[in-house]
Structure 1
Amino acid sequence: MSSMWSKVLIGKDVENLKPVPEKVSPKKSNSTTKDSTSKSTKPKSTKSSKSKKETKEKKIEEVVESEEDDNIEIDDKKVSSQDGTKDKVMDDINKKDIEEIEDDIVDIEDEEEEEDIIVKKSSSKLKRKAIIEDEDDEEENRKREVKGKPIVGKSPESKTNVSPQKDDKESKKIRVECSTKDEVVTFKTNTKKKIEEDHDEDYNDNLLEEIEDEDEDYEDEEDLSDSEKKTNTTATTTTTTTTTNNKTKFVKKVAVSKKKGTVKTIQADLKVLAQYDPIKDAGFTKGQTIPYLVLAKVLEKIEETSSRLLIVEYLTNLFRSIILLSPNELITAIYLCINKTGPSYGGKELGIGESILIKAVSESTGRTMEFVKQELKEVGDLGIIAQNSRSTQPQMFQPPPLTCQTVISTFRQIADLTGNASQKKKRDLIMKLLISCKDCEALYVIRSLQGKLRIGLAERSVLLAVAKAVLVTPPNQSVCLDARRLKSLYKAPEEFEEKLLETTKKVTRAYSQLPNYDLLVPQLLKENGLESLLENCSLKVGIPVKPMLAQPTTGISQVLDRFENMEFTCEFKYDGERAQIHMTEDGKISVYTRNLEDYTQKYPDILQNVPKFITPGVKSFILDCEAVAFDPQTQKIMSFQVLSTRARKSVQLDQIKVPVCVFAFDLLFLNGKSLVDETLQKRREVMKENFQEASGIFSYAKFNNCTDIAEIQIFLEEAITGNCEGLMVKTLTEKSMYEPSRRSYNWLKIKKDYLQGMTDSLDLVPIGAWYGKGKRTGVYGAYLLACYDEDSDEFQTVCKIGTGFSDELLTSFTEALTPHIIPNARSIFRVNDQLKPDLWFNPIQVWEVKAADLSVSPIHTGGSGIVDPVKGIALRFPRFVRVRPDKNPEDATSSEQVVEMYKNQKINNTNTATAKDEDY
């Protein structure tokens, strides 16, 4: 019976309520039903309402629970009373009565019907009415009330008729009859099933977004436009009111936040974790080296699902087993999952050429290269070909199984090989791996060597899984404690969500400041290592961090709206290359790009000039700045195109033709102390105290603490006149800490382009091309460009471009991209069937592109499913600007940014205070 009545529970706010079935007298149930049925067909008389009320009171008794779920146990034969009296055993209820009650449950109208339709009564056998008590009984009814929640049963203010519903409806409407002034109010709410479906897909993303939410709540929700409110809400919120003496009383409010998961969803998450035994289900034993097949099977499961919740679940369980059985290999497993051989700044990448891989597959499987090439044209995935070939290849002697340690060490050997004989050595190492492969191992070995797993696994999902695994299965514990911990967390799901939020925040913050798993993971695996994680994983000189980035704006007024009642500052936005300069205490100087690439060899002049602009007391530092091409004769800065002509490696001082000037705008570290938690105003003061300007060598970014539109406009025009891109606007005191690897709304950029149409340019990746015609015969005449979606690891198309190219550029691009032609579109290309370029490329370049505006497109796939369920976003009238050699394809404009730009275009100069920062 209790399970039957649980169907009427509505939304998250009443999930912990357990409505109790009505008590039915075994002897009178049939007669009562007949009487009520016959009476329901007759008109109700006002005079007889009182007598009918008394009659129904005798036949139907409303029981309301008064204690928490853990204290009241309801079964088919017990009913709990509100005032704490003992449970009455309903031994006499026969099976026939129960079936009759269940058969009379009313079907509810579908969600598509109008909101004010009242559900018709299909039977009067069963009526859950809250009967208003006389004023003398008001005190007694107050005791029955569940504080702060809608009452199921008697109420001193209203009588409620709630028809039980069948659970095959996704959306339900429930009639609530409020007795006060005979007002009838209807409201609509999503069922728990619908809420959980909405929540499941975005549970992990929302968790990551929530990490910094408290830093982003600048303005009240009321300031949002209607369109923004619809965008930022994933569940319907409906309020039901009754009016008494011109006062409004809220009877019920169902509000499901996009961020917070339902209790049931969190518990379901914990159930999945509890069902997995990290020892018995591990696939390896304590002390055993982890078989690569164990990890490959997890990757296979990840590739088969698009649910981010499941992806994190699979990884979390794998990491839990590793923590318990082989904690020293957790670092190895993480690197294999993110397809890296070490820290990003180490510069060691695989990306083996296709010809070497084809030959290795051919020789290891006994198939000819022609056969493999032909099959590659048909299948389009060399990894699948390797997997299928290995599964049919007979073997005389069984090679030893692959382990994760063997695979990662071989990958590192391949990445280290250089020189003339390196190609043959690489091929031999690859063949050795392939010969030992079983099942799906060959698929992921080949894809890893190609440089992309292409399974939709983002690094932030790996970080979330690590945080979750450490929380659920703390290091240095027994599996028994692990089970008990899950049980305790299940009983307090909201507490678990808070703990997971806190843990994830710590892990992501620690990794953003110290992007090195070799240093981060050992700290996590220490006993109570999580508590001291941020203290022990702060900035270190010599380990670059991804820089803090700015959000684009639609104009000056948007800046003022965003930073209302806050101190902010404007800086020139220089047209150069982002540079992060490190100096250790022993005097070693390094220069890193925004992608953590080591560009020390590219800028020997910076190394030579550092001693000229630091004061004697400076022993170590990390400086965030812009390296800009500078003409020493005219004392003017030059464009990025001029800077890009410098060689990238082994630059000699006497060969430099394009000198650079360093424009510093932030100081992250000084003399052994991290400054990222200090305000920008404080960091700027410390920088000025320890660094001195030197003409043509080092200068502070020009700034002005503007306060109104006129001042900002004048300063913007001054920046443009000085060959700058525009302005950076930053919070100066409040909420002005430095946030590595985040695109934050605490930093905004105003580019001169906002006066010419679209607010910002985009950085896009060419993935296809069409042969030129007419004057462009012999070169590629147009290109298919794509943005990058980090969550799905896809390149999504946004435009076909053929404007902005000189003849020289078309020739150079044809020469540069021809070696990277591939026979078919890769699985990571999300392309509409109507788009069929003449040829496809591996994603290797990033181009800056401008456009007139953005529009919803049935052809392109950029950000599809966000603005429109099927259509994507496309650029109108795109025009090539320049190549971005400082960016990798994965650093291209994201699909989320494309959607954000489209929305900003539609809601020009409106408030964006609730938008979320992005992790990069």
Structure 2
Amino acid sequence: MGFRPDGECDSSSFIRKIGPNPAAPLTASIFETVAATFLEFAQLCDALASTTKKLEKRAQIADWLKTLSVEDAARGSLYLAGQAFAETDPRVLNLGGAILSKALAEESGASEAAMHEAYRRHGDLGAAAADLLLRQAGKPVTLTLAQVEERFSQIASAKGPSAKLPVILELLRAATPLEAKYLIKLALGDMRTGVKQSLVEEAIAAAFGAEASAIRQATMLKGSLPEVVRLAAAGRLQEARMSLFHPLGFMLASPVDSVDEAVARFAVEVAAEATGNQLSVDEAGSSSKLDLSFIETEVAQSVLKEAQVEDKYDGIRAQLHCGDPEQPGRVALFSRSRDNMTAAFPELIEAFASLHLPVILDGEILAWDVANSRALPFSLLQKRIGRKKVTDEMREQTPIIFMAFDLLYLDGELMLERPLSARRKILEEFARNHTDSVRAGFREAHTARSQGSLFSEEIADGPSRLVLAPAIVLSSAEQLDQAYMDARNRGNEGVMIKSLASIYQPGRRGLAWLKLKRELATLDVVVTAAEFGHGRRAGILSDYTFAVRDGEQLRNVGKAYSGLTDSEIAELSQFFKDHTVEDFGYVRSVEPVLVLEVAFNNVTRSDRHASGFALRFPRILRIRQDKPVAEIDSLARVEEIYASQPELIRNEELSQ
């Protein structure tokens, strides 16, 4: 049961009745409310999770926000978006499943077996907590949004798990089971209510009588939902100004499988641009559904001249912020998932700290072959991911650069509305003016840091950490095909095709940017183990480890969980339950009888599997009911594919 439109609730939900005019914008003068309880928030989250209707979710959020003080509306909006702190706030909770599980076990008194069973039942630690803490169901409701904010602040400032644990326990002891569920979900950043930040922004607009576009613009500029709520409450959204050091949404590219498809799809986009009606992937249809036969070859060829092509690199997409005059020397790196990964790449921080011009660059973090000016395989970057401390040895072994391919903000001006052709010219000028200063900044910082190091001089005289991504204007499909082959020979994944007229649309995946990245190969493999999934796949065996033949043995080479329909996964889940060899709880070894055809992007060396190899980005293409296990691919075939990769050939040449 959930919220009713009048704001009342049934026995399983609770919401404070709203003020005398529910349609009025929220202001402190209209509503003099008591402090909002966290239980109200948790009940709303349960109601949101129970419906898939976007308009219903938005109405429920807006109705709740109208009942709150401005400060509680600010807190509630942030928490509904799944954030403990605003994006511009450098604090982090730094809580993982281990410490939260420890606190939950201590507070609930549950055994390890009971903890395991609850988690397996739900595939979610928060939902498991609600079950394990049922004995607390009758306790008084005392926890407020403001108290959660205060405790989160204490957790963020606490040093180490032992200092954080008492505060977590204090929260759990004050919480009802439903509140504990969403405290843990919020702490993990995994709400699973079907609510994205964009929907919260729309609800804020509805609650405050503002335009959704004005809320979105203010949020993009400020990077703080609480600040936007305060501005909306005061009717001052137009005063929002750009703040550095919070991630803007990344513009995304749509995949295509061939040059012909790329040309045809791009023709659709250019035609849409000409009428001012840019298409999203959903609007245009998937590659398998979009009818492109009406596009004449001559037309398709001509529109390519309105595009540029770049290599698609095998690195980490990143947004780099630097040059804030109020915080000299500060540099930040954000991933596509909006995570702060600054600490993992100190070389870039040292290099860009010398820049004093405020700028936001979009690009790729790459492991770099200095001698040949080429990107190295992604596998050399993997050891950096998630690290808070990067050793000198790691820095010395693998040089890191930032390959810039777009410029989003410069010296007080947001560039998103400018066409790519204009942004590219500004980026080229920026690179000309600052590449040497970035090199000098790194050299100075590295020399100061590495006094007496045997590697100091060699590394300090290395490349600039700022590299401009090469780009060429297209003229024909033949040129695009050649560009793809050249990119692959350089060890890169493929090419990007970008409309010169395209504006930068944060978070949007349209046809203005396309990525041509053909699959390396496919393999027929056999499933050897199955794991239970998470969220809506909780209780379903949906993640499959698979192997190839090595003589009479089977050697695992990867794990895949995408590519099948829900009905196929449900059938396979029951199949693997019936064919379980050994049940380890969350994962089961299964009889090696089911053959899958999988596609992948690359093969890498790996210690994770006994085969010594791992497939990168494997995807299930189909279930091969027609193929016996005796006919699956061999480890020799995996080695052959590995040896055929351009990046391997290059690395072998470098090592000679």
TM category, shorter: 0.5 to 0.7
Q: Deviations over 1:455-475 (max 9, x none)?
A: 44343332332222223xx6x
Partners of 2:531 and 2:586 within 8 A in 1: no
Provide the residue aligned with 1:904 in structure 2. none
Distance 1:671 1:835, change over 3 A: farther
Q: Deviations over 1:550-589 (max 9, x none)?
A: 1101222222223335511111112222232222223422
Q: Which amino acid aligns with 2:418?
A: E
2:259 pairs with 556, 568, 572, which one? 556
Please give the alpha-carbon distance, in whole angstroms, between the structure 1 residues aligned to 2:383 and 2:188: 29
Matched, 1:711 2:479: yes
Distance 1:433 1:318, change over 3 A: same
Partners of 1:801 and 1:879 within 8 A in 2: no
Matched, 1:632 2:370: yes
Provide the residue aligned with 2:97 in structure 1. 353
SS, match of residue 834 in structure 1: helix
Please give the alpha-carbon distance, in whole angstroms, between the structure 1 residues aligned to 2:491 and 2:429: 28
Matched, 1:659 2:362: no
Matches within 5 A, 1:390-539: 390-391=136-137, 401-419=142-160, 421-422=162-163, 425-426=164-165, 428-438=166-176, 440-449=178-187, 451-471=189-209, 503-527=211-235, 529-530=236-237, 532=238, 536-538=240-242
Q: Deviations over 1:523-552 (max 9, x none)?
A: 22222x35x2xx6254x3222223211110
Matched, 1:340 2:83: yes
Q: Deviations over 1:225-263 (max 9, x none)?
A: xxxxxxxxxxxxxxxxxxxxxxxxxxxxxxxxxxxxxxx
SS, match of residue 574 in structure 2: coil
Please give the alpha-carbon distance, in whole angstroms, between the structure 1 residues aligned to 2:331 and 2:99: 39
Partners of 1:631 and 1:659 within 8 A in 2: yes
SS, match of residue 623 in structure 1: strand
Matched, 1:669 2:435: no
2:312 pairs with 556, 566, 573, which one? 573
Provide the residue aligned with 1:685 in structure 2. 425
- Give the TM-score normalised by the residue count of structure 1: 0.47
Provide the residue aligned with 1:696 in structure 2. 463
1:312 pairs with 49, 58, 77, which one? 58
Please give the alpha-carbon distance, in whole angstroms, between the structure 2 residues aligned to 1:841 and 1:679: 50
Please give the alpha-carbon distance, in whole angstroms, between the structure 2 residues aligned to 1:796 and 1:757: 26
Q: Which amino acid aligns with 1:678?
A: R
Q: Which amino acid aligns with 2:390?
A: V
SS, match of residue 421 in structure 1: helix
Please give the alpha-carbon distance, in whole angstroms, between the structure 1 residues aligned to 2:117 and 2:545: 32
Partners of 2:529 and 2:545 within 8 A in 1: yes
Deviation, structure 1 residue 875 = 7.5
Deviation, structure 1 residue 795 = 11
Q: Deviations over 1:394-419 (max 9, x none)?
A: x7xxx671111112322332344333
Q: Deviations over 1:259-306 (max 9, x none)?
A: xxxxxxxxxx99879999631699x97242112222222223223334
Provide the residue aligned with 1:376 in structure 2. 118
Please give the alpha-carbon distance, in whole angstroms, between the structure 2 residues aligned to 1:374 and 1:799: 18
Partners of 2:87 and 2:247 within 8 A in 1: no
Q: Which amino acid aligns with 2:160?
A: G
Distance 1:379 1:285, change over 3 A: farther
Please give the alpha-carbon distance, in whole angstroms, between the structure 1 residues aligned to 2:422 and 2:4: 44
Partners of 2:121 and 2:538 within 8 A in 1: no
Q: Which amino acid aligns with 2:511?
A: Y
SS, match of residue 339 in structure 1: coil
Q: Deviations over 1:813-834 (max 9, x none)?
A: 99xxxxxxxxxxxxxxx85551
Distance 1:649 1:594, change over 3 A: same
Deviation, structure 1 residue 420 = 6.1
Q: Which amino acid aligns with 2:134?
A: N
Distance 1:306 1:712, change over 3 A: closer
Provide the residue aligned with 2:342 in structure 1. 600
Q: Deviations over 1:407-438 (max 9, x none)?
A: 2322332344333632xx52x33333333334
Q: Which amino acid aligns with 2:66?
A: R
Q: Which amino acid aligns with 2:47?
A: K
Please give the alpha-carbon distance, in whole angstroms, between the structure 1 residues aligned to 2:144 and 2:342: 36
Please give the alpha-carbon distance, in whole angstroms, between the structure 2 residues aligned to 1:563 and 1:377: 46
Deviation, structure 1 residue 835 = 5.4
Deviation, structure 1 residue 376 = 3.0
Partners of 1:604 and 1:653 within 8 A in 2: no
Partners of 2:75 and 2:226 within 8 A in 1: no
Provide the residue aligned with 1:327 in structure 2. 70
Partners of 1:513 and 1:740 within 8 A in 2: no
SS, match of residue 515 in structure 2: strand
Please give the alpha-carbon distance, in whole angstroms, between the structure 2 residues aligned to 1:836 and 1:410: 44
Distance 1:634 1:438, change over 3 A: closer
Q: Deviations over 1:205-227 (max 9, x none)?
A: xxxxxxxxxxxxxxxxxxxxxxx
RMSD: 4.5
2:332 pairs with 578, 582, 590, which one? 590
Provide the residue aligned with 2:511 in structure 1. 745
Q: Deviations over 1:889-916 (max 9, x none)?
A: xxx99x9x999xxxxxxxxxxxxxxxxx
Distance 1:378 1:405, change over 3 A: same
Q: Deviations over 1:687-717 (max 9, x none)?
A: 2222225683233211111122111111111
Deviation, structure 1 residue 628 = 1.6
Q: Which amino acid aligns with 1:691?
A: A
Deviation, structure 1 residue 600 = 2.8
Matches within 5 A, 1:106-117: none
Deviation, structure 1 residue 595 = 2.7
Larger Rg: 1
Matches within 5 A, 1:172-251: none
Q: Which amino acid aligns with 1:577?
A: I
Identity, in percent, stands at: 21
Which has the higher relative contact order, 1 or 2, with Cα contacts under 8 A spaced 6 or more apart? 2
- Give the TM-score normalised by the residue count of structure 2: 0.64
Deviation, structure 1 residue 836 = 4.6
Provide the residue aligned with 1:542 in structure 2. 245
Deviation, structure 1 residue 333 = 0.7
Provide the residue aligned with 1:486 in structure 2. none
Distance 1:664 1:368, change over 3 A: closer
Deviation, structure 1 residue 601 = 2.8
Distance 1:667 1:797, change over 3 A: farther
Give the total of aligned pairs: 496
Q: Which amino acid aligns with 1:737?
A: I
Provide the residue aligned with 2:351 in structure 1. 609
Partners of 1:627 and 1:662 within 8 A in 2: yes
Q: Which amino acid aligns with 2:338?
A: L
Please give the alpha-carbon distance, in whole angstroms, between the structure 1 residues aligned to 2:539 and 2:424: 39
Q: Which amino acid aligns with 1:689?
A: E
Provide the residue aligned with 2:455 in structure 1. none
Please give the alpha-carbon distance, in whole angstroms, between the structure 2 residues aligned to 1:748 and 1:430: 46
Partners of 2:77 and 2:226 within 8 A in 1: no
Partners of 1:362 and 1:372 within 8 A in 2: no
SS, match of residue 465 in structure 1: helix
SS, match of residue 802 in structure 1: strand
Matched, 1:620 2:391: no
Matches within 5 A, 1:850-861: none
